[in-house]
Structure 1
Amino acid sequence: MSRSARRRLFIATILLGSFLLFLVQPMVARMALPRLGGAPNVWNSAMLVYQALLLGGYAYAHLLGRLALKKQAIVHIVVLGLAALTLPIALAELPPAAPGAEVLWVPLLFLATIGPLFFAVSAQAPLMQRWYAADPQADDPYPLYAASNLGSFAGLIAYPLVAEPLLPIARQSGVWTVGYVALLVLVIFTARALPKAEPSTSETTSASPEQSSEEIGWRRIALWVCLAAVPSGLMLSTTTYLTTDIVAMPLLWVIPLGLYLLSFSIAFAENRGLANGFARHAAALTMVLGSITILLSAQGSVPAALVSVALLFVVAVALHGRLYETRPSPAKLTLFYLVMSAGGVLGGAITALFAPVVFDWTWEHPLLIVAASLLVPLPAYARWSERLGWSASRTRVAMAASFALALLAIAALSRAMVASPQSPLVVQGLLALVVILALLVVRWRPAFAAILALAMLALGGMQSLRTSLAGERTRSYFGVYTVRDIDDAARTLAHGTTLHGVQLRKPGLELQPTTYYGRSSGIGLALGAGDALLGKGANIGIVGLGVGTLACYRKPGQDWTFYEIDPAVLAYSQGGQFTFVEKCTPDARMVIGDARLELEKAPAGTYDLLAIDAFSSDAVPLHLLTDEAFKVYLRSLAPDGLLLVHISNRYIDLVPALDAAARANGLTAIRRHDRGAKPPRTSSMWIAMARDPARLTALQDSNPATWDELERTDHPLWTDDYASILPVLKWEKFL
């Protein structure tokens, strides 16, 4: 086989393996949605499992290198064959997680579902590079890692854009199985392309004796770990932000991970032009984007998301570029990838396991940004004083003066944020001055990082710090909750950046319904009609507790049940921060757990009215809107019962999906869009559904408010096996 043909074979094998590896990640997470819901930490937990399996695969590749080449090939082909026995991919059957145990149960589910296959395929990239380098005529194998990550990026992008919209889950699994068989065939061909004669070194590479005996000290290994850990952790913390405030769906899961993988393709490319460009500007961009990220983070806006994603990409390319520049000889290739993978697992563990337990807010995100500022490559202008011919002592004085001036500028910036937040030019001017002064001391890394940290505090971090110190936040597996008092007028609960509920504090107004649940909202109209609409002694089910606002619609004789997935939310009502439940439904039944699973346990025909209001920040738990979910609701609903679904959302138009669900289940549906709501009420959209159209007629006749017929669409029915959110995105909101 010619040298070029051999290289193409190895590249094809690496590309296909990486493509399959990262196509399966969102696919399995999508499979798990009906059982796990849409919490952002579900994806972070999945990523942690994938990183751990990747580490295991890299360790396996490293240990396998101690064998002769032919034995390596035989063992790896056998491992791939044994893993194939778990095909086709299907979600493992595990008993449901106990409330509060999700942080351990979710990784266990992913491990049981995809563990053997992911482990076997994850070894492909380093192992194929090692086999490639075994030929004495082979060139540098490290650029093949760029091809590996290009395949990974393609797999991630292919899922939301091609696989999810076009194929049901079962078909996706079938296609992946075909790809796996093709990979096994390619591995057999690469094994046949191995050198006939064993290399003389124990490393089985083309490395010289000097390279094989290369000493790699602990400092170098520690640097590799840090350079890998920071982008990995930052990728997951960025994912948390995106999936909390938009929607938990593969399209958004894959953006941070896709850019993270693409950064390797740039950083490890043979052509160093683009990687060097990132390295030159990484320090300045980290300072600017890091500061702006904190400034915009409280807004939950698309610009904030774009800045966060841009920062992740810059940091990832810059730090992975440093990894490439400090790489060892090919003789130590698998050790290098093993250490790099360990760093990735460390960064993932910090974000997915450590941070949610220790921090009450996503403090890991700014801390990782500061850590990145300590690691980014130094730009050429870092030695500006030498170019000016200054002495060392004069340089130290100049840098100390620049640092002091930066502190004064940050103090002025902090005052400007408090005194004149509506003066963007002042803030922008002071921030530009801080950036310039920071770049003057960039080679004094602790000072550079300190300036960035203080700038982030001045631009909004201090408010978050005060909130944390005041004990106003709670962080759970399902998100970050913040309780704030607006003088003596009201108390609010926010999930991420989305308002979850308001209770007025003025005497006589404490039990007034607010936000999305005002008397003119769809749910307010239905519950407010009371016995006239629902009959005496009605049984009411509410999915999603929030601050418990709906409790005060209770009428005498009614039985109420609340379903809430997060014990932290229930604690707000039980601990006295919000008193709707305590004052209005003290005897209501509280069911902790995923509502869809818990409703399956309820007796058939239980509820006269069932309200679905289970938003996670501004995200939508997709598993609560599939056909299977609606069948669960209808089973628990009385024959003449009412089903109400809250679909207010900034980024997604859920009307077509609800229309498809109604048509599929023989339901009549109407919509109440409460546009004219004024504080403390907010605009909302509720869909009311019933088997009997007369029930909706009675709802409309019970109040003068306007209900609209749900417009008919040809939107496909969402099921657990097939659902794509791309067609219902409000694309104009992203512009």
Structure 2
Amino acid sequence: MLLFALTVLVSSILLFMVQPIIAKQIVPWFGGSAGVWTTCLTFFQLVLLAGYAYSDLVQRFSAKHQSMLHAALLIASLSALPIVAGVHWKPTGDEEPLWRILGLLTVTIGLPYFMLSTTGPLIQSWFAREQVSPAVAQRAYRLFALSNFGSLLGLLAYPFAIETWVATQHQAIAWSLLYGVFVVLGLTVAFRSARQAQQPTIEKESPSQARDIAIESAPSQAAPPSPPGATELLQWFGLAALATMLLLSVSSHITQNIASIPFLWVLPLSLYLLTFVIAFEGRGGRGWYLRNTMMLPAMVLAAFMAWGLTTDQGILDIDVAIPLYLLGLFLICLFCHGELAHSKPAARYLTRFYFMIALGGAVGGLLVSTVAPRIFSYYWELPLALMLVGVAGAWIGLRNGKGPLRIVFIGGSLVSLAVCSFYTRLHFEERTYDSIYGARNFYGTLRITERTAAGAEAPIRRLVHGVILHGLQDTSTAHRQEPTTYYGPNSGVGITIKEMGQQSSQGIRVGVIGLGVGTLAAYGRKGDLYRMYEINPQVIDIAKREFTYIQDSPADVSFALGDARLVLEREPANRFDVLVIDAFSSDSIPIHLMTREALGVYLRHLKAEGVIAFHVTNRYLNLAPVVRRIAEEAGYQAVLLEDEPADDTRGVLALSDWVLVTKNQRLLASRAVRDKAVEIEPIVGLRSWTDDFNNLFQVLK
């Protein structure tokens, strides 16, 4: 069994490590949106499904033909190495990137990933075929637990070890070399399986195991196990789809609506994989999931998770919310995967079992990543998935419960469904009572709210994404042209634009990467030119239609749709006096906008005495030293300006940190800059960030 186990382990590690390696290569091309990662995940789920379908279909072939076909595909997959994305896949800047990303992934990694996807179920079926005893054949399912354990190792190793030390291109080469080792293992197993199929053998066992096998292998008139029926197939599909929907929707909720903490996304996926290991390993291969003690807690946690969506407008304290949603995800996924393990068929049908799991996972992933953004204006998939948990619990109780426990299972699940439905309705009311507009697309969910303070002349209008404020405007006549939040008059960017305006007898040219609500246009004067770079077309529509900063500005304001860095690479030099880098949608950051290569692009568009203003306000990452490092390498000075607004009675200003990169000594010597300037503390051992290498661990606060 060692050869089978080693092949499965290597393939599963490669399977999970390739996803971030490829995604990191293409994120700089598509704007660093969370949608890029979701699209990648969807692609990998679909290819996984194709691999599982292949594993099931080839069971119709003879052992010899299976081995020949699989060996040929393994050898053919080597032609895709090394897994380096071609630059011709870069977007032009004005199209939705979904299909381009899918095409890129298909060409770059499609066949190798497909072959890795086939390994788990196919190797297990070959192992089971070698065994005379059905009991020993059932051990093949333990290889599934090993496969998920390997995936967990790959997942944890990448961000905490590999990414922090190895450049992306070197990662791709190392992965390709390890894939070559996998191909050798796969070929060895394929040829062994073909030989063993001619004369089935029993692995060497202990004396007691041998006696059991002898008894089980004795002639018997018992009929062979019947194939799974439609009910079993639908149950496998539904449980797998539900677990995947919960994984993706909980991940989105805690990273966008609770806290955009670096590496937080690793925890939900790790727990998801861990539940597979627990469900299919332990207790002699029967798994550690116990329906009588673990099912109802999952139903209870689903209800509490739905309650959490309505408490404090759906924003619980981080020290309550993260444990609640992670524990809930763990128990619900353990329920789904445990029930899958309890209903697994005889080993001869295991490839069909895995195909239905993969199909459910792919459909669940597509519903969250592709369908939901097109039919919902908010993240409704999480409350809906929580309601489905109650439905699934009632179904399991109906099919598998016995005696009083059946009533308890069904009743508890229906109560959970009722509670989730109640809080979903409250959640909907809370999300809409102060909203005047909501929109959702590939790049995320945007919502506009209005609230009028007591005694105020007019409401304050806000653009929000989860817990992240993208901009606000006091709509009163007296204040509507005043810059707010991180862009106030005493902020680093406010000071910079005003000082540069005073240095020019004519209008100044300002570039802004990241539009928000167009707040910076409030600084525009007649004769100034403002060029706004924005990747999300909905943001441009909202800034023009729902806020008045753009239309009120005397400056000439133009827009460029697409990833700013790619657009700037194509444009002729703009000769900006000020270039503002503010494309941060939350406390997570588009790293590709803060690299050595990115700075080179910016400098080509900057006047000799111009200034680049980096917005580095962040609760979790110390980004100022990163900017300082790449600036000094290019021969520029970097100065940090901190602003803590005082006397902000209307609550429209925010604490902000801006790093100015410039050679303009007159600007740096101005009193306004000197009064706000703060020393940038260097980070020992900090390497310059490049497109090929960056280390978030070094800049954690």
TM-score (norm: length of structure 1)? 0.85
Matched, 1:123 2:108: no
Given that residues 283 and 379 in structure 1 are in contact (C-alpha distance below 8 angstroms), is that contact kept between their aligned partners in structure 2? no
Give 5+ residue unaligned stretches, structure 1.
Answer: 1-6, 396-439, 731-735
Contact 1:94 1:109 in 2 (8 A): yes
In 1: Cα distance, 2:689 partner to 2:277 partner: 36
1:216 is matched with 228
Q: For the Cα contact (< 8 Å) 1:688–1:696, is it kept in 2?
A: no
Counterpart residue number, 1:573? 543
The alpha-carbon deviation at position 442 of structure 1 amounts to 4.4
Which residue does 1:502 correspond to in 2? 472
Looking at structure 1, the residues matched to 417 and 698 of structure 2 have their Cα atoms a distance apart, in angstroms, of: 43
Residue 660 of structure 2: aligned partner:
688
Cα distance per residue 1:50-70 (max 9 Å; x no partner): 000000101111111122223
Letter in 2 for 1:533: Q
Whole-Å Cα distance in 1 between the matches of residues 391 and 699 of structure 2? Answer: 42
List aligned pairs for 1:389-428, cutoff 5 A: none
Contact 1:623 1:720 in 2 (8 A): yes
Pair 1:550-2:520 in alignment: yes
State the alpha-carbon separation in 2 of the partners of residues 705 and 225 from structure 1.
Answer: 63
Q: Partner residue of 2:68?
A: 74
Q: Does the C-alpha gap of structure 1 residues 566 and 197 become closer, same or farther in structure 2, counting only changes over 3 Å?
A: closer
Q: Which residue of 2 aligns with 1:453?
A: 421
Cα drift, residue 197 of structure 1? 5.3
Cα distance in 2 between the residues matched to 1:169 and 1:703: 38
The CA distance in 2 between the partners of 1:335 and 1:384, in whole Å, is 28
Conserved 8 A contact 2:299-2:413: no
Q: How much is the aligned-residue C-alpha RMSD, in angstroms?
A: 2.8
CA distance in 2, matches of 1:325, 1:237: 26
Relative to structure 2, which stretch is displaced further, 277-286 or 320-329? Answer: 277-286
Matched, 1:655 2:655: no
Identical pairs, percent: 32
- Evaluate the alpha carbon distance shift between residue 330 and residue 313 of structure 1 in structure 2; reply closer, same or farther with a 3 A threshold: same
Cross-structure match for 2:207: none
Deviation at 1:263, TM superposition (A): 1.4
Matched, 1:282 2:298: yes
1:159 positional shift: 0.6
What is the CA distance between 1:444 and its match in structure 2? Answer: 6.5
Q: Could you tell me which residue of structure 2 aligns to residue 710 of structure 1?
A: 680
1:311 aligns with 2:328: yes
Separation in 1, partners of 2:437, 2:273: 37
Match of 1:667 in 2: 636
Residues 574 and 605 of structure 2 are in contact (CA less than 8 Å); yes or no, is this contact kept in structure 1?
Answer: yes
Q: Is the 8 A contact 2:641 2:673 kept in 1?
A: no
2:616/2:659 contact within 8 Å kept: yes
8 Å CA contact 2:436, 2:449 repeated in 1: no
Alignment of structure 1 residues 233-382 onto 2, 5 Å: 233-244=245-256, 251-271=263-283, 272=286, 274-276=288-290, 278-279=294-295, 281-295=297-311, 297-299=314-316, 301=318, 303-376=320-393
Q: Paired residue for 1:164?
A: 163
Tell me the secondary structure at the aligned position of residue 251 of structure 1. coil
Q: Distance in 1 between matches of 2:93 and 2:442?
A: 13
Partner of 2:561: 592
> 2:302 & 2:330 partners in 1: Cα distance?
10
3-state DSSP of counterpart to 1:142: helix
Deviation (angstroms), 1:10: 0.8
**Distance in 1 (alpha carbons) for counterparts of 2:555 and 2:525:** 13
Cα pair 1:281 1:379 within 8 Å, conserved: no
Quote the Cα distance in structure 2 between the aligned partners of 1:70 and 1:169.
39
Aligned in 2, Cα 1:16/1:326: closer, same or farther, shift over 3 Å? same
* 1:69-90 alpha-carbon deviations (Å, 9 max, x no partner): 2322222122111111110111
Q: Aligned in 2, Cα 1:452/1:512: closer, same or farther, shift over 3 Å?
A: same
CA distance, structure 1, for counterparts of residue 258 and residue 505 of structure 2: 38
How much does 1:243 deviate?
4.4
Structure 1 residues 8-58: Cα deviation after superposition (integer angstroms, max 9, x where no partner) = 211111011000000111111111111122222211111110000000101
Change in Cα spacing, 1:583 to 1:210, as seen in structure 2 (3 Å) is farther
Structure 1 pair 318/495, CA: closer, same or farther in 2 (3 Å)? same
Take 2:592 and 2:553, find their aligned partners in 1: how far apart are those partners? 31
2:289 alignment partner, SS class? helix
Paired AA for residue 231 in structure 1: A
Relative to structure 2, which stretch is displaced further, 535-544 or 357-366?
Answer: 535-544
Residue identity opposite 2:280 in structure 1: F
Q: 1:722 aligns with which of 686, 693, 699?
A: 693
Question: Which amino acid is 1:307 matched to?
Answer: L
Secondary structure of the residue that 2:99 maps to in structure 1? helix
CA displacement, residues 381-418 of structure 1 (integer Å, 9 cap, x when unaligned): x989948xxxx9xx8xxxxxxxxxxxxxxxxxxxxxxx
Contact preservation (8 Å) 1:279, 1:318 = yes
Partner residue, 2:586: 617
CA distance in 2, matches of 1:239, 1:17: 25
CA distance in 1, matches of 2:222, 2:260: 51
Q: 2:485 aligns with which of 479, 496, 515?
A: 515
Q: Which residue identity is paired with 1:339?
A: M
Distance change >3 Å, CA 131–CA 248, structure 1 → 2: farther
In structure 2, the residue matched to 1:472 is: 437
The Cα offsets for residues 110-164 of structure 1, whole Å up to 9 and x where unpaired, read as 2232111111111000001001001124441112100000001111111101110
Letter of the structure 2 residue corresponding to residue 46 of structure 1: C
Contact 1:530 1:555 in 2 (8 A): no
Specify the SS of the correspondent of 1:65: helix
Structure 2 runs not aligned, ≥5 long: 201-215, 453-457
Letter in 2 for 1:103: L
Match of residue 422 from structure 1:
none
Letter of the aligned partner of 1:82 in structure 2?
A
**After superposition, what is the alpha-carbon deviation per residue over 1:453-479, rounded to whole angstroms, capped at 9, x for unaligned?**
213444x44302546xx6521112111
Q: Which moved more, 1:232-241 or 1:82-91?
A: 232-241
- Paired residues of 1:441 and 1:448 also in contact (CA < 8 A): no
How far apart, CA to CA, are the structure 2 residues paired with 1:112 and 1:695? 52
Distance 1:386 1:447 in 2: 16
Q: Distance in 1 between matches of 2:323 and 2:538?
A: 30
1:244–1:616 CA contact under 8 A, matched in 2 = no
Instruction: Sort the Cα spacing of 1:666 and 1:327 in 2 relative to 1 into closer, same or farther, 3 A.
Output: same
- Name the stretch that deviates more: 504-513 or 344-353: 504-513
Match of 2:606 among 637, 640, 657: 637
Counterpart code for 1:619: S
Distance 1:544 1:212, change over 3 A: farther
> Are the equivalent residues in 2 in contact too, given 1:361–1:480 (CA < 8 A)?
yes
1:263–1:444 CA distance, 2 compared to 1 (3 A): closer
Offset at residue 209 of structure 1 (A): 9.7
Give the TM-score normalised by the residue count of structure 2.
Answer: 0.89
Q: Is the 8 A contact 2:52 2:351 kept in 1?
A: yes
Please tell me whether the aligned partners of residues 551 and 581 of structure 1 are also in contact (alpha carbons under 8 angstroms).
Answer: yes
Show the counterpart of 1:539: 509
2:615–2:657 Cα contact (<8 Å) kept: yes
- Which residue of 596, 600, 603 maps to 1:627? 596
Task: Give the deviation of 1:695 after TM superposition.
Answer: 4.4
The amino acid that maps onto 1:216 is P
Q: Give, in whole Å, the separation in 2 of the partners of 1:72 and 1:637.
A: 61
CA distance in 2: counterparts of 1:512 and 1:670, whole angstroms: 25
Larger displacement relative to structure 2 (281-290 or 511-520): 281-290
Flag the 1:517–1:211 CA change in 2: closer, same or farther, 3 A. Answer: farther
Q: Which amino acid aligns with 1:29?
A: A
Which residue pairs with 1:398 in the alignment? Answer: none
1:648 to partner: Cα distance: 0.9
Whole-angstrom distance in 2 between the partners of 1:209 and 1:504: 83
Q: C-alpha separation between the residues in 1 aligned to 2:180 and 2:289?
A: 35
The residue aligned with 2:210 is none
